[in-house]
Structure 1
Amino acid sequence: MAAKGKSRFIDVKALANELEEELPCRGRQIALLLSLAGQPNHTTCPAVFGYGHSATGKSAVVQSVLESISAPRAIVNCVEWQGQKQLFEEILNQVAEAGPSPENGFTQYARCDNANDFVRLLKGVVQEKEIEETVYIVLDKAERLRFMEGHILPAFLRLSELSQCNVCVIMLSQIVWEKFRCGTGYCEPVIVHFPDYTKNEILEIIASHPPAGYRCTFYASYVNLLLSIFYMACRDLNEIRHLAELNFPKYIEPITKGEATVDDAHKLWRNIEPHLKKALQTIYLREVSRTDRRFFAKHHGKIKKTARISKKKETSNQLLGPKAFPLDRLMAIFYSVVDARVAPSANIFSQISSLVTLQLLSHVGHDDQLDVPKYKCTVSLDFIRSIARTVNFDIIRYLYDFV
């Protein structure tokens, strides 16, 4: 924790280049955050809002930037601290560097029941520690703040003003800022967007860390083959990195057996292609909940009589009508019920557009997720049953109210 003393100087440009080497394809976001931070003793903007899908580098970039400038900080995940009391106390623990430990009997730095106490105690910590540099409070999964008391979000956005301290609150979320607007009493943060990685960017990031004993060019060739199979179905960096590590031993199997060399790309591809296509079926199935697997797996069991009776007390889904569903759920159900192994292709996704054009599906507005289209069925059950009969598919078995 930086305290009172000689002011430090940071070479922002050199630091930005260094961080971009560690976190490729996020140079613009790194440069923006460093420019907002300025020098350690400078007053920075009171609030920053970073948004983007999961696995787009939000948390990694912010944490790396703050560590590189040795800024006093508190980083909390709002999912882990549901109530305002726990959230406030955890922030104070980190800023004061006095969290629960065996030495203090696992006690908190201070009891904090509300926002007024938090502002007062935070100001006291800054004065007690003689902190002259900007204090950063990072709230990951910030969308959870919307479900707390209505004054919590405005209080964080105006924390610098309320505490009269050099404090910057950085909120990270998967949803856009427009979903956070809460009427009056708050100030607009600086918006930083973390877009999805492109195919080439995913290739660059993963290929930059090859397994021991293999060149970057060889690993890049393997990752490129992997993306040719999985990219249409999954664009999550962490998921693809996991798939690359999981399937690499199979890819180099002919090399370890002495049947091929690193230059025999065609032979290596023929060995792993069937394995990758089989692994493709597991991508969407991992996203299906237990309930979905129960109703859309082909050889499901029977619901107990007690469960059937309890469900009769609820409103029938037939009366409620069709509900909106995201594209990922549609594809998960599709891959659960198809007989043949069907790889994702442009043809499959074009069929969805055709269904919308024919008004069999309707495209509905987005909810909280970014760039995730949602659809709703617009045809009657009788029509669906007649279509299902033409392809010998017992649709009733997969409908909840008919089981």
Structure 2
Amino acid sequence: MAALTFELQKTNDNSKARAGVITTDHGQIETPIFMPVGTVGSVKAVTQQQLNTDIKAQIILGNTYHLYLRPGLEVLEAAGGLHKFNGWSKPILTDSGGYQVFSLAASRKITEEGVMFQSHIDGSRHMFSPERVMDIERTIGADIMMAFDECPPYPSDYKYAKNSMHLTHRWLDRCFTRFNSTEDKYGYTQNLFPIVQGGTYKDLRVESCQYIASKDAVGNAIGGLSVGEPMEMMYEFTQLCCEELPENKPRYLMGVGTPWNILNCIHLGVDMFDCVMPTRNGRNGMLFTTKGVINIRNKKWASDFSLLDDELDNNASNYYTKAYLRHLFVSDEILGLQLASIHNLSFYLWLVKQAREHILAGDFASWKDDILPVLQTRL
């Protein structure tokens, strides 16, 4: 078994957008790519078969914090890892729990050793250290394991952002020490990505990128963005990080975002994305389509018998009408949540596939500029 590799296939003269192929022991991932979020081992309201056939996902996410609490490491290890447990045969990436540390601010304590937190399920107390997180991610069985980091809130003052970044770097050293001293589990290679932090301060971001790059990992992640900062600031710091991080390694922008966020960040040089937006917004009746954004609960769709989106090649979009989906939502039928989730994820995977094709064709920038106003239209 071999470590993750990245082949950079094409760049464009008038854009930093890249097309490439990531190869793992569970298969290849064509970039740029969007990764559906399966927090507790399941992409909400979507089966693994639908992820494969309708959505055409190439990789999904699991969350270390949530999987550690439920079903727990004993169950996952007995199953042979998350792939065997949930029946997903393609690559899996696990977040380290660092974002949950950020979001559980009221019930956790950060020290040099790690983070003591209370379970949101039963209030029990647990310690996540860099070493413990590496062991947990090994046991979950991720193809790509994220380093344990602290994600500072926005806004953070300079002193806090600097201290937080250095803590993340010290934790990263410990992650690599533990990772390098432990074996892959379940018979395939596991890979570790470090995470850039530094808040919204240019000198800190540059310093963090350089520190992360010095680790010569097989891929790198940009964290601490899309946490409340203005959109233009997110683009500014994404561009800065892409300029600093190695060109020959995949770049993963964590937790981003809307379809237009994704296209703009592909333009800046990002290869990998994840976000709960397509499923979360879908369950609330917001559909992203090739013609714009739909609130399917609106009365205007009650007698619209056109297909959800005839540009997409999946059963949810090509089989059901807007009127029927609206009926499901206003009737509180569970099927509505499922169809909206499948549709939105299919759209996101369609979008990054289109982006890839236009990068390979050499006209990504002009295509992006043409399609962005369409995608942002409220229908």
Answer yes or no: same fold by TM over 0.5. no
Which protein has the bigger helix share?
Answer: 1
TM-score after normalising by structure 1: 0.28
Which protein has the bigger strand share?
Answer: 2
